[in-house]
Amino acid sequence: MPDPMRIRATMAGDVVEVKVLMAHEMETGLRKDAKGNLVPAHFIQEVTVVHNGKTVFSAQWSTAVSRNPFLHFRFKGGKPGEKVTITWVDNRGEKRIDEATIGG
């Protein structure tokens, strides 16, 4: 199972600011190893963020995103103590779901 995401969700006025660090190899499938063999592609394809049952952020990624991606975005409508759930799915079908509580 992939490592947990590091998530910070904080209030800034009436806006929730979310920062997420995802531990993932993000291999393009174009890099060669020490023996000259291609390293198979392994990258996050879909990221979804849900708050109170509503999707507040979604993205479709490809090989152009670097290793251990960092995501930073804001949305309105959250309150301290509520949960934000982040899910990613990669091209091998691996999935990671983590959540954070919005801080004041």
* CATH number of the CATH domain containing 32: 2.60.40.10
Provide the number of structural domains found in the chain. Answer: 1
52 found inside a domain: yes
What span, in angstroms and rounded, lies between the C-alpha atoms of 95 and 47? 10
What's CA 36's distance to the chain center, in Å?
Answer: 31
Contact 61, 87 (CB under 8 A): no
What span, in angstroms and rounded, lies between the C-alpha atoms of 101 and 104? 10
Tokens standing for 53?
């049952």
47 found inside a domain: yes
pLDDT of residue 104: 80
Range of the domain at 47: 6-101
75 found inside a domain: yes
What 8-state DSSP symbol labels residue 90?
Answer: E
Per-residue pLDDT of the chain (104 residues; tens, 9 = 90+): 689 999 999 999 999 999 999 999 999 999 999 999 999 999 999 999 999 999 999 999 999 999 999 999 999 999 999 999 999 999 999 999 999 999 98
pLDDT of residue 62: 96
pTM attached to this predicted model? 0.91
1 found inside a domain: no
pLDDT tens figures, 66-95: 999 999 999 999 999 999 999 999 999 999
